[in-house]
Amino acid sequence: MYALIAMFAALLVLVILLRLKVRLGQSMVLAAVALAILLKVGPTLFCQTWLDEWHSKPLSQTTGYLFVSLAVLLCMVNVLGLAMRETGVSGQLASAMQGLFKSRRVALSIIPMLMGLLPTPGGIMLSAPMVRDLGDRVGVDRTHCAAINYWFRHQWETVWPLFPSVPLLQSMLGIPALVLISHNLAITLAGTLGGIIFLLTRGIPPRNPEHDNRAGVRKNLRDFLHAFWPIAVVAILYAAINLPPAAGIVLATALFGVFHRLPSARWKAILREGLEPDFVLLVLGALLFKLILEAGGAIPSAVGFLQDHHTPPILLIFFLPFLVGFLTGVTMPTVAITFPFLMPMITRDGQIRMGLETLAFSGLICGLMLTPVHLCLAMSASYFQAPLGKLILRLLGPVALVAVAGLASAWIFS
């Protein structure tokens, strides 16, 4: 019980600090410090947990590596966005997307969905500059743009095999990939439908004829590729040679500057504006929060509490992944932590009841998409300069539809 109270108290500290207009990165660090105090995680225990990572996890999953790579990625995406604006490329992209897809709503949602096929920590920032510039062009407020970018970016998480949680869960359940994907597709479809209903049918101003793009398809395609190629470079290098996106974005930004012959004086100004210290604190705070939870043993304690109090199975199947996803903000560890506990409840006569598995995964997605600990949500609020509370409120409708899909799957397939 105490672990649950400590975790929610730390999140309350975060909310209070944000209400007091403390910057998001600073608030995240202070909330992590509060959590460490509440869970009695001192410097010795913290350092021991941090050192243990180097022996038990691949380098790419260690806190130190993630801090450097995510901080570089976040800052350099901001730098690239500023450089694209400086050269006028971002304006061309917004116009090209409208011309290619005709519908402003399709254009706003298709960019994050395409980039969402590249699962990388902090990868939401790859589409953020494009969505922000397009939203500014058609008059969508920044908070709504942040919600669209964040929500549609994550619609592949339950079915796309490049997300580590999908093959992990398949191996844990011992079922064919197609079976898992076909059932979890209900979450993806419900999430996409929820995004369309709650994010694309409202908050989009009436069409302004002055913003219509009358250029031909060839010119629009050329302008799109002209703006999209730096992001494509990052994606191709990541897929082809596993180059970390942080290194890829540095390379792409340098190539962009050379191609557009930006003078050194402008580069200095762009770097000075783009390398935002609060972005670094934001990444640090989110990762500290996760590491302190591990050091304090808070998640197993919370799981044990729920089991000891005989929570109804259906409620536990949904709420346990929701809780762990909400408190950690990451998918794969949530799967690894919760599904071993849920296996007896979602299995009957040696067979996996896939409706209950879908219910559990829908709970995970609901918790993941609403928590300020989720790095993508925190980075979206910071980059789009959107109030975190208002951003979360925009997501409640789509999240509710995902929960309904999980409950419907449990009723139909169990």
In the chain, where are the structural domains located? 2-413
Judge residue 306's burial from the number of C-beta atoms within 10 Å of its C-beta, 0-12 exposed, 13-18 middle, 19 or more buried.
middle
pLDDT digits (tens, 9 = 90+) for 17-44: 877 878 878 888 898 899 899 988 888 8
Closest by CA to 248, choosing from 258, 259, 238, 263, is 238
- Cα separation, 187 vs 181, in Å, equals 10
Q: How many residues does the chain have?
A: 414
pLDDT, tens digit only, all 414 positions of the chain: 787 788 778 878 877 887 787 887 888 889 889 989 998 888 888 888 888 888 887 777 778 887 887 788 778 877 887 787 777 776 676 667 667 776 778 888 888 887 777 666 566 877 888 888 888 888 899 999 999 999 999 998 888 876 767 877 887 788 888 888 899 999 999 999 999 999 999 888 876 655 555 556 777 788 777 777 887 787 778 767 777 777 888 898 888 888 888 787 788 888 887 787 887 887 788 778 778 888 888 767 776 776 677 778 888 899 888 987 887 777 777 787 778 778 878 888 778 899 999 999 999 999 999 988 888 898 888 889 899 889 999 999 999 999 999 999 999 986
What span, in angstroms and rounded, lies between the C-alpha atoms of 127 and 287? 22
359-377 per-position pLDDT tens digit:
999 999 999 999 888 888 9
| Alpha carbons 144 and 199: distance in angstroms, whole number | 7
Separation CA 358–CA 353 (nearest Å): 9
What's the predicted TM-score (pTM) here? 0.71
Going by C-alpha positions, the residue among 50, 11, 5 that lies closest to residue 32 is 11
